[in-house]
Chain A
Amino acid sequence: MKNSKKITKPLLILSAIILPLTLLFPLWKIELTAPQYPEGLVMKIWLYKLSGDIEIINGLNHYIGMGAIHEKDFPEFMVLPYAVIALSIFGLLAAFLKASKWTHAYTISFMIFGIIAIADFWRWEYAYGHNLDPAAPINVPGMTYQPPLLGYKQLLNFGAFSIPDIAGWLFFLSAGLAILASAHLIRKGEW
Chain B
Amino acid sequence: MNKKTIGGVAAIILGTTAMTFYINGCRPKTTMTSQSGDAASKVYVAPGQHDEFYNFVSGGFNGQMSVYGLPSGRLFRIIPVFTVDPTSGYGYSEETKPMLNTSHGFVPWDDLHHPTISMTDGIQDGRWVFGNGNNTPRVARIDLKTFRTAEIIELPNSAGNHSSPFLTENTEYVVAGTRFSVPVGGNTDVPINTYKDNFKGHLSFISVDPKSGALDIAFQLELPGVNFDLAHGGKGPSHDWMFFSCYNTEKAYTLLEVNASQKDKDFIFAVNWKKAEEMAKAGKGVKKKVRYAHNVYDELTHTATSTIKEEVLVIEQKDLKEVVYLIPCPKSPHGCDVDPTGEYIVGSGKLAALLPVFSFKKIQEAIAKKDFEAEYDGLSVIKYESALHGVVEKPGLGPLHTEFDDKGNAYTSFFVSSEIVKWRVSDLQVIDRVPTYYSIGHLCVPGGASKKPWGKYVIAYNKITKDRYLPTGPELTQSAQLYSIDGEKMQLLLDFPTTGEPHYAEAIPADLVAKNSLKIYKIEENNHPYVTRGEKDARVVREGNKIHVYMTCIRSHFAPDNIEGVKLGDEVYFHVTNLEQDWDIPHGFAIKGANTAELLIMPGETQTLKWKPENAGVVPFYCTDFCSALHQEMQGYIRISPAGSNVPLSATLDNKEASTN
**Chain B: CB-nearest residue to A160:** B27
Distance, CA A161 to CA B9, complexed state (A): 28
| A136 with B439: CB separation less than 8 A | no
Distance, CA A176 to CA B1, complexed state (A): 16
A33 cross-chain contacts in B, Cβ below 8 A: 30
A11 cross-chain contacts in B, Cβ below 8 A: 1, 5, 9
Distance, CA A156 to CA B396, complexed state (A): 9
| A36 with B26: CB separation less than 8 A | no
| B467 with A39: CB separation less than 8 A | yes
Distance, CA A137 to CA B247, complexed state (A): 12
A189 at the interface (CB under 8 A from B): no
| A35 with B438: CB separation less than 8 A | yes
Distance, CA A31 to CA B27, complexed state (A): 10
**Chain B: CB-nearest residue to A148:** B26
| A184 with B5: CB separation less than 8 A | yes
| B418 with A36: CB separation less than 8 A | yes
Given A136-B258, A137-B351; A157-B417 close (CB under 8 Å): yes
B467 cross-chain contacts in A, Cβ below 8 A: 38-39
Digit string of A151-177 for contact with B (CB within 8 Å is 1, else 0)?
Answer: 110001101010110000100110011
B254 at the interface (CB under 8 A from A): no
Distance, CA A35 to CA B416, complexed state (A): 8
B16 at the interface (CB under 8 A from A): yes
B20 cross-chain contacts in A, Cβ below 8 A: 163-164, 169
Distance, CA A151 to CA B13, complexed state (A): 20
Distance, CA A156 to CA B353, complexed state (A): 10
B368 at the interface (CB under 8 A from A): no
B2 at the interface (CB under 8 A from A): yes
Distance, CA A39 to CA B12, complexed state (A): 33
B416 partner, pick from A7, A39, A156, beta carbons under 8 A: A156
| A150 with B23: CB separation less than 8 A | yes
Give B393 Cβ to nearest chain A Cβ, in Å. Answer: 12
B280 at the interface (CB under 8 A from A): no
Distance, CA A97 to CA B647, complexed state (A): 113
B257 at the interface (CB under 8 A from A): yes
Distance, CA A147 to CA B319, complexed state (A): 53
Distance, CA A7 to CA B8, complexed state (A): 12
Distance, CA A34 to CA B435, complexed state (A): 11
B27 partner, pick from A161, A169, A184, beta carbons under 8 A: A161
B31 cross-chain contacts in A, Cβ below 8 A: 35, 38
| A157 with B353: CB separation less than 8 A | no
Distance, CA A164 to CA B19, complexed state (A): 10
B464 partner, pick from A7, A36, A151, beta carbons under 8 A: A36
Within 8 A of A (CB), among B1-59: 1-2, 5, 8-9, 12-13, 15-16, 19-20, 23-24, 26-28, 30-31
| B418 with A35: CB separation less than 8 A | yes
Within 8 A of A (CB), among B249-265: 257-258, 261-262
A176 partner, pick from B12, B258, B416, B466, beta carbons under 8 A: B12
B363 at the interface (CB under 8 A from A): no
Digit string of A18-50 for contact with B (CB within 8 Å is 1, else 0)?
Answer: 000000000000010111101100000000000
Count chain A CB atoms within 10 A of each CB in B2, B258, B439 and give the residue with the most. Answer: B258
B8 cross-chain contacts in A, Cβ below 8 A: 180, 183
Give A134 Cβ to nearest chain B Cβ, in Å. Answer: 9
Within 8 A of B (CB), among A102-161: 135-139, 141, 150-152, 156-157, 159, 161
| A177 with B417: CB separation less than 8 A | no
Distance, CA A150 to CA B27, complexed state (A): 11
**Chain B: CB-nearest residue to A179:** B12
A156 partner, pick from B1, B261, B397, B438, beta carbons under 8 A: B397
Digit string of B519-552 for contact with A (CB within 8 Å is 1, else 0)?
Answer: 0000000000000000000000000000000000
Given A38-B467, A152-B26; A135-B438 close (CB under 8 Å): no
**Chain B: CB-nearest residue to A140:** B353
Give A160 Cβ to nearest chain B Cβ, in Å. Answer: 10
A10 at the interface (CB under 8 A from B): yes
| B23 with A177: CB separation less than 8 A | no
| B1 with A7: CB separation less than 8 A | yes
| B435 with A35: CB separation less than 8 A | yes
| B16 with A39: CB separation less than 8 A | no
B95 at the interface (CB under 8 A from A): no
| A151 with B435: CB separation less than 8 A | no
| A35 with B439: CB separation less than 8 A | yes
B580 at the interface (CB under 8 A from A): no
**Chain B: CB-nearest residue to A35:** B418
A180 cross-chain contacts in B, Cβ below 8 A: 5, 8-9, 12
19 examples of A-B residue contacts, CB within 8 angstroms: A6-B1, A10-B1, A34-B418, A35-B418, A36-B439, A38-B437, A38-B467, A137-B257, A137-B258, A137-B261, A157-B398, A157-B416, A161-B26, A161-B27, A176-B12, A180-B5, A180-B9, A180-B12, A183-B8
20 more A-B residue pairs beyond the given contacts A31-B27, A151-B23, with a C-beta to C-beta distance below 8 A: A11-B9, A35-B418, A35-B437, A35-B438, A36-B438, A38-B466, A38-B467, A39-B466, A39-B467, A135-B262, A137-B257, A137-B351, A150-B23, A156-B397, A156-B417, A157-B417, A157-B418, A163-B23, A177-B9, A180-B12
What are the nearest 3 A-B pairs in CB distance? A35-B418, A176-B12, A36-B438
* Interface residues of A, Cβ cutoff 8 Å to B: 6-7, 10-11, 31, 33-36, 38-39, 135-139, 141, 150-152, 156-157, 159, 161, 163-164, 169, 172-173, 176-177, 180, 183-184
